[in-house]
Amino acid sequence: MKRWFPHPITAAILLVIWLLLNQSVAPGHIVVGAVIAFAASHALAALRPEPVRIGSTTAILRLAGIVVFDIVRSNLAVARIVISRRKRVSGFIRLPLDMRDVNGLAVLACIITATPGTLWVQFNRADNMLLIHVLDLVDEETWIRLIKHRYERLLMVIFP
C-alpha cells in the first residue's frame, strides 16, 4: 500500500476534501479526487524531510522562554519607536552562523521573523552567512552577539 500511496492518510483526507468541496459523491468526482490524491501523495513523498533529532528537551523550554521574553520586549521597543517618532537607523546585518542543521535554521528563521523589529532576509548556504534587517540598528556587534549567544547556541544543543 505504501508503494502506491506513500502517504495513505493524507491521500484519503484529500479525497474526502475533494468530495466535500464538490458536494458530490458521483463516480466522476471520486475518480478525479482519487487521481488528485494519488498525485499529491507522490508529490509529498518527493519532499521527504530529514529526520529531526532532538538533543535536549530542557534547552527547548529554555529557548521558548527566552523567545517569548524577547518578543514581548521587542514589541514594547517597536511601539516606543513608533510613538516617539524618533529618528532611527535601520540596516542590514551580515551574521556568520556556525549552525548547519536545516531544522535549527528553520526555527531560527521563525524566531527572527516573529520578533518585531527584525527580519530574516537571506541565507547563503555556501558561506553560512545570514542577512538580517534590523529596524533600530545601533550596534551591529551587539546584534550578532545576541543572536549567536541567545538563539544559535541553544539551537545547536537542541538540534545536534
Q: Where are the domains of the chain?
A: 8-46, 57-158
Provide the pLDDT for residue 83.
87
Provide the pLDDT for residue 71.
92
Provide the pLDDT for residue 146.
87
Contact call for residues 91 and 133 (beta carbons, < 8 A): yes
To the nearest whole number, what is the mean pLDDT of the chain?
86
Question: What span, in angstroms and rounded, lies between the C-alpha atoms of 160 and 99?
Answer: 9
pLDDT tens sequence across 19-31: 999 998 899 999 9
pLDDT tens sequence across 93-114: 998 988 888 888 989 999 998 8
Provide the pLDDT for residue 89.
81
Give the chain's residues under pLDDT 50. Answer: none
Which residue type is seen at 43?
A
